[in-house]
Structure 1
Amino acid sequence: MAESREHTFTGTRGRNVAREWPHDRPRYLAVLVHGYGEHIGRYEYVADRLVRHGAAVYGLDHMGHGKSEGDRVLVEDFEDVVTDVHAVEERARAEHPGVPVVVIGHSMGGMIAARYAQRYGSGLAALVLSGPVIGEWAVVPALLAYEVPPDVPIDPATLSRDLSIGTAYAADPLVWHGPFKRTTLEAFATTLTTIAKSGTFGALPTLWVHGDDDQLVPLPGSRAGIETVKGTDFAERIYAGARHEVFNETNKDEVLDDVTTFIDRTLT
């Protein structure tokens, strides 16, 4: 695997931990945006593929996630998370001036990346959304119906057909295994509405990848959101039988081949 190093910075709500997988002469910069309850350390395989493809790769643990400060999985406003991701992009650009930037977001990170593209898309070369929480996500209204959201644990088997992924997820001390917090659910609802009302991605090249057996973020709900925001340069890849984490699926190399091929097209 590619070597990585960590650094810290003061984010919008406290100290954030970020990680870089360096490349001496990158063709592009990849900013990875992780999902709910997890951390950027789960993206080692993705980062390694991207480094070998010619990227310097950056990502952070969002507030309340992984090694970053904050109450666990508490997000009051996802606009703050978008701002933190932008700080990572600014550091990447400072280290590699003039190199194009690609943002890749998974699940909740796909939602953050979509909003990021609406705020900062004019400076991006491409956008990749993996199993994004966008459009209609039934989890949010269902849990907000309770004053105190019930603890509904994620079934690790829904992550990937490679069951070792779920086993490692369940044993990972940096992964949050507790219930959603109401404040975070309200922030999800607000951000989903904001994205729907904030226009398309315009000419930004965008790739959407999703498993058709994704039980955590079902395909139909995400499609509704994608149809609202996709711009004029859009492609999708839907993988038969794949579950939620397509970057960790049994066909992950096929998925990452599709991602790198898409990036190559945008860079030329």
Structure 2
Amino acid sequence: MIEWLKWHLKILATIFFAILAYKEKLIKLLLCSKILSRKEKNRLIVKEDFIQGRGNIPLFYRLFSLSSSSPTVVIVHGLGEHGGRYAHVRDLFLDLGFSVVLMDNRGHGKSGGRRGHVQDFNYYLQDLFLLWEHLHLWKPLLLGHSLGGLITLRFAQTYPEEISALVVSSPFLGVKMEVPKWKTLFASYLSQIWPTFSLPTGLNPHHLSHDIEAVEKYKRDSLVHQTASARWFTESLKAQEKAFQEVHQLRMPLFFQLAGDDFLCSSKTAEVFFESIPFSQKQMQIYPAFYHEIYNEVEKEKPLQDLEEWVNENVLSIYKDLS
């Protein structure tokens, strides 16, 4: 019996010291990993500059470049906001090895142009294409939120060969509350005789997110505005109609992330649009009880994790195949 105990104690001691030795190596590996991570971050090149958009409108952009060989994601923001509000989404892609580009749309953020106005919706697409040419972008991943979702969908339909894949969150394919016919007709009339006529959007910041801190930060942001012109309204309606008409042009991997309780954009319309896409490599995720800005919600980790997993499974392999 004593010999049996001695034998088992000897085995336990061997296992214990082996764990200690492994733990020390593991700590060393983690330290090395952190050092490498710092080195990677030190290689990050950050650039802020302007390009001349359609009609010589100055357009502000931010570039976070890891290397000339890294894949790139272009993030397009929504109405009344700007690219600076997507720092956490930017960091997610940097951790995945992507370079990141964020441009403020015309009439938004630090870019020029009348706030919330566009003379022709195609100007948004042409501005993006000018950014492609200026930065020599090669088949980047495109991500758009809200108005940015509509812009990126129309860009993907117009220039399908220019991108590798598309992600949209809470896309502006329709409004939650149906607009009375008389308002649409009145806006169409104003769009012709006074296209720059603008009114407050009436957006309630508390309908963006359940996260009070995120809402207060939005309200304090000096680069945020809440106006839209008559021409912007009619051009957006035309773009929505065109998006449905040309749904067959979407021939790249697609990921739709929809807010289940969106007070601004119609998730139902987005679902109908998604189902009509003929391309098979598509995925949709709905987040019940989430407000419009899913990446700024209290439980934002869920859509961000889903985004990361989708990119890992559907996008990174594209660049491996193309390289």
Which position in structure 1 is the counterpart of 2:269?
A: 221
- Relative distance call for 1:140 and 1:37 in structure 2 (3 A) is farther
Rounded to whole Å, the distance in 1 between the matches of 2:78 and 2:130 is 18
Q: Unaligned stretches of 5+ in structure 2?
A: 1-40, 191-197, 318-323
Secondary structure of 1:186's counterpart equals helix
Q: Which moved more, 1:245-254 or 1:55-64?
A: 245-254
- Compute the RMSD of aligned alpha carbons: 2.2
Which position in structure 1 is the counterpart of 2:4?
A: none
User: Greater RCO between the two (CA within 8 Å, min separation 6)?
Assistant: 1
Q: 8 Å contact 2:50–2:59 — kept in the other structure? A: yes
Which position in structure 1 is the counterpart of 2:49?
A: 7
Q: 8 Å contact 2:76–2:152 — kept in the other structure? A: yes
Q: 8 Å contact 2:156–2:250 — kept in the other structure? A: no
Deviation per CA, 1:196-223, whole angstroms, max 9, x where unpaired?
1123244310000011011111311222
Counterpart of 1:120 (choices 159, 183, 186) is 159
Q: 8 Å contact 2:175–2:264 — kept in the other structure? A: no
Sequence identity percentage = 26
Counterpart of 1:203 (choices 226, 240, 251) is 251
In the alignment, residue 7 of structure 1 is paired with which amino acid?
D
- Relative distance call for 1:186 and 1:138 in structure 2 (3 A) is farther
Q: Which structure's CA Rg is the greater one?
A: 2
Which position in structure 1 is the counterpart of 2:147?
A: 108
Rounded to whole Å, the distance in 2 between the matches of 1:172 and 1:109 is 19
Which position in structure 2 is the counterpart of 1:264?
A: 312
Rounded to whole Å, the distance in 2 between the matches of 1:9 and 1:236 is 34
TM-score normalized by the length of structure 1 = 0.89
Q: 8 Å contact 2:51–2:134 — kept in the other structure? A: no
Secondary structure of 2:255's counterpart equals strand
Q: 8 Å contact 1:140–1:185 — kept in the other structure? A: no
Q: CA deviation at 1:58?
A: 0.4
- Tell me whether 1:242 sits opposite 2:284 in the alignment: no
Rounded to whole Å, the distance in 1 between the matches of 2:156 and 2:200 is 32
TM-score normalized by the length of structure 2 = 0.75
- Tell me whether 1:182 sits opposite 2:230 in the alignment: yes
Q: 8 Å contact 2:76–2:103 — kept in the other structure? A: yes
Rounded to whole Å, the distance in 1 between the matches of 2:308 and 2:296 is 16
Q: CA deviation at 1:184?
A: 0.6
Query: How many corresponding residue pairs?
Result: 262
Q: CA deviation at 1:3?
A: 7.3
Secondary structure of 1:200's counterpart equals helix
- Tell me whether 1:157 sits opposite 2:157 in the alignment: no
Q: CA deviation at 1:227?
A: 2.8
Q: 8 Å contact 1:26–1:56 — kept in the other structure? A: no
Q: CA deviation at 1:24?
A: 2.5
Q: CA deviation at 1:22?
A: 1.9
Secondary structure of 1:217's counterpart equals coil
Deviation per CA, 1:238-261, whole angstroms, max 9, x where unpaired?
112211011111222221221122
Counterpart of 1:137 (choices 175, 182, 189) is 175
Q: 8 Å contact 2:49–2:60 — kept in the other structure? A: yes
Rounded to whole Å, the distance in 1 between the matches of 2:130 and 2:90 is 19
Secondary structure of 1:58's counterpart equals strand
In the alignment, residue 154 of structure 1 is paired with which amino acid?
L
Q: 8 Å contact 1:58–1:92 — kept in the other structure? A: no
Q: 8 Å contact 1:33–1:113 — kept in the other structure? A: yes
- Tell me whether 1:63 sits opposite 2:102 in the alignment: no
In the alignment, residue 210 of structure 2 is paired with which amino acid?
R
